[in-house]
């Protein structure tokens, strides 16, 4: 086969989770909760099925759910997205990202990606003939130097991919970052794909800087969200995309032939749940508690904690413990200590190794405690 993605292997998440399983290690590698979803939400899914919501949803998703998303987006970001033409429910954030890229990336288009980056962006850009222009950020704070980003711009720059709160680093974009981005892309047609799946996991009273807050960016942006993160249900694979009508129109041309529409009873259930529960305000507190708890425990180890301002990942440096490669360290932690993490070099095109590991703290208190009992031994 003449592979379309010759350098792509199996995702790091599958690799690490499989290794964790084989060695019976505590799995803090792949990002997913190990505690149950709210039984009320599960009952609403069963009810939706019993009530006959078992056939195709409309292509862009259930209107009642799109209306709730429009309302929420107006409340949080003072942005009016028309549920009829500017919101589409997808099979998770991943499909939203894939579909947006498929809809607009042409061969030769350049896409700027900040690294370490979530792993699905780059292969998807390449699949449609796009050229990835990685911009490396580094530990400990992964700050963006926008003057340097400017140097990557060419006549072929089609898009910048943003991800705040960021996976894997837990960093967030500040208002100053967004202002620099606005200045940089003013009077250009450069599009933004803003992966905001962790929008409600922002800590210490900081405000999430959605591109939807900024009209200058909104008109050129796809915004991606995930119910997997919002409702602790990563296995449900539901999310959505927001975009101005002219972009959403292109998005839907692909969406209709990619999946047509997505899971009906879960859309019904999520809509009913969002109407009755206060999920948005509870989520940051819930995860901030987990972050604080986990950081306090990790302070007793020899790992050095990096800042964590958002998302559910805590990165640590092991530079003072060992000189080995981060991939070797991650494997040794699984085999010899029984804890799985993700080596952050996996998120750089060049495999840049800053001696940093990523741990997911969307776990029961007990899981985090047991993991750190083992990590203390290193």
Contacts with ligand GLN, residue ranges (CB under 6 A): 11, 13, 30-31, 167
**Residue 92 touches which member of ligand GLN, ligand PMP, none, C-beta under 5-8 Å by kind:** ligand PMP
Specify whether the CB–CB gap between 217 and 211 falls below 8 A.
yes
Dist CA 273 CA 268 (whole Å) = 9
- Considering the rule CB under 6 A, would residue 29 count as an interface residue with ligand PMP? no
Query: Which residue sits closest to ligand PMP, CB atoms considered?
Result: 92
Q: Of 53 and 309, which CB lies nearer to ligand GLN in the complex structure?
A: 309
Here the tokens at position 243 are 């975009």
Q: What's the N-to-C CA distance of the chain in angstroms?
A: 45
Between 241 and 280, how does the x/- string for binding to ligand PMP read (CB under 6 A)?
----------------------------------------
Dist CA 270 CA 92 (whole Å) = 13
Q: Which region among 1-9, 87-95, 250-258, 326-334 touches ligand PMP (by CB under 6 A)?
A: 87-95
Task: Identify residues 309-348 at the interface with ligand PMP (CB under 6 A).
Answer: none
Specify whether the CB–CB gap between 314 and 372 falls below 8 A.
no
Question: Angle at CA 312, nearest 5°, toward 308 and 315?
Answer: 45
Dist CA 326 CA 343 (whole Å) = 5
- Considering the rule CB under 6 A, would residue 360 count as an interface residue with ligand PMP? no
**Residue 226 touches which member of ligand GLN, ligand PMP, none, C-beta under 5-8 Å by kind:** ligand PMP
Among 207, 195, 358, 228, which Cα is nearest to 284's? 207
Q: Which region among 34-42, 176-184, 233-241, 267-275 touches ligand PMP (by CB under 6 A)?
A: 233-241
What are the residues whose beta carbons fall under 8 Å from the beta carbon of 365, sequence distance 6 or more? Answer: 290, 293
Dist CA 224 CA 161 (whole Å) = 11
* Minimum gap (Å) between residue 67 Cβ and ligand GLN: 28
* Minimum gap (Å) between residue 312 Cβ and ligand PMP: 9
**Residue 163 touches which member of ligand GLN, ligand PMP, none, C-beta under 5-8 Å by kind:** ligand PMP
* Minimum gap (Å) between residue 265 Cβ and ligand PMP: 18
Count how many Cα atoms sit within 13 Å of the Cα of residue 68 in the half-sphere of its side chain: 20
Q: How many residues lie near ligand PMP (CB under 6 A)? A: 14
What are the residues whose beta carbons fall under 8 Å from the beta carbon of 285, sequence distance 6 or more? Answer: none
* Minimum gap (Å) between residue 27 Cβ and ligand PMP: 14
> Of residues 167, 185, 194, 354, which one binds ligand PMP by CB under 6 A?
167
* Minimum gap (Å) between residue 227 Cβ and ligand PMP: 7
> Of residues 31, 33, 130, 338, which one binds ligand PMP by CB under 6 A?
31
Dist CA 85 CA 109 (whole Å) = 26
- Considering the rule CB under 6 A, would residue 94 count as an interface residue with ligand PMP? yes
* Minimum gap (Å) between residue 358 Cβ and ligand GLN: 8
Dist CA 339 CA 349 (whole Å) = 25
Dist CA 12 CA 87 (whole Å) = 31
DSSP string spanning 79-138?
----TTTSEEEESHHHHHHHHHHHHH--TT-EEEEEES--TTHHHHHHHTT-EEEEEE--
Query: The dihedral of CA 119, 120, 123, 129: what is its sign?
Result: negative
Q: Which region among 58-66, 92-100, 105-113, 299-307 touches ligand PMP (by CB under 6 A)?
A: 92-100
- Considering the rule CB under 6 A, would residue 195 count as an interface residue with ligand PMP? yes
Q: Of 194 and 264, which CB lies nearer to ligand PMP in the complex structure?
A: 194
Q: Of 31 and 165, which CB lies nearer to ligand GLN in the complex structure?
A: 31
Contact residues for ligand PMP, defined by CB under 6 A:
31, 92-94, 118, 163, 167, 195, 197, 226, 228, 234, 237, 239
């Amino acid at each position: 086969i003449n592979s379309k993605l010759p350098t792509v292997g199996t995702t790091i998440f599958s690799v690490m989770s499989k290794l964790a399983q084989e060695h019976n290690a505590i799995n803090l590698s792949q990002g997913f909760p190990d505690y149950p979803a709210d039984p009320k939400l599960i009952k609403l899914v069963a009810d939706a099925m019993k009530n006959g919501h078992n056939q195709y949803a409309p292509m862009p998703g259930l209107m009642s759910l799109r209306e709730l998303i429009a309302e929420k987006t107006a409340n949080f970001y003072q942005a009016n997205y028309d549920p009829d033409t500017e919101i589409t429910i997808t099979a998770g954030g991943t499909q939203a990202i894939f579909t947006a890229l498929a809809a607009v990336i042409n061969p030769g288009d350049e896409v700027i990606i900040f690294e370490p980056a979530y792993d699905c962006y780059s292969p998807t850009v390449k699949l449609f003939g796009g050229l990835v222009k990685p911009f490396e950020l580094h530990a400990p704070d992964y700050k963006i130097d926008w003057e340097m980003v400017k140097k990557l711009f060419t006549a072929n720059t089609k898009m910048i991919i943003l991800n705040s709160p960021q996976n894997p680093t837990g960093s967030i974009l500040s208002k100053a970052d967004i202002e620099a981005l606005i200045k940089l892309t003013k009077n250009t047609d450069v599009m933004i794909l803003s992966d905001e799946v962790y929008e409600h996991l922002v800590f210490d009273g900081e405000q999430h800087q959605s591109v939807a807050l900024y009209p200058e960016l909104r008109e050129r942006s796809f915004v991606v969200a995930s119910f997997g993160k919002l409702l602790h249900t990563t296995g449900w694979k539901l999310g959505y995309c927001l975009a101005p009508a002219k972009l959403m129109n292109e998005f839907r041309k692909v969406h209709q032939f990619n999946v047509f529409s997505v899971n009906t009873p879960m859309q019904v259930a999520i809509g009913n749940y969002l109407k009755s529960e206060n999920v948005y305000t509870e989520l940051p507190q819930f995860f901030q508690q987990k972050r604080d708890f986990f950081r306090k425990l990790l302070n007793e180890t020899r790992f050095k904690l990096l800042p964590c301002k958002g998302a559910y990942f805590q990165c640590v440096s092991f530079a003072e413990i060992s000189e080995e490669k981060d991939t070797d360290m991650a494997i040794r932690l699984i085999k010899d200590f029984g804890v799985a993490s993700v080596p952050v070099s996996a998120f750089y095109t060049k495999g840049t190794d800053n001696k940093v590991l990523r741990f997911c703290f969307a776990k029961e208190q007990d899981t985090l405690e047991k993991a750190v009992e083992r990590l203390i031994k290193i």
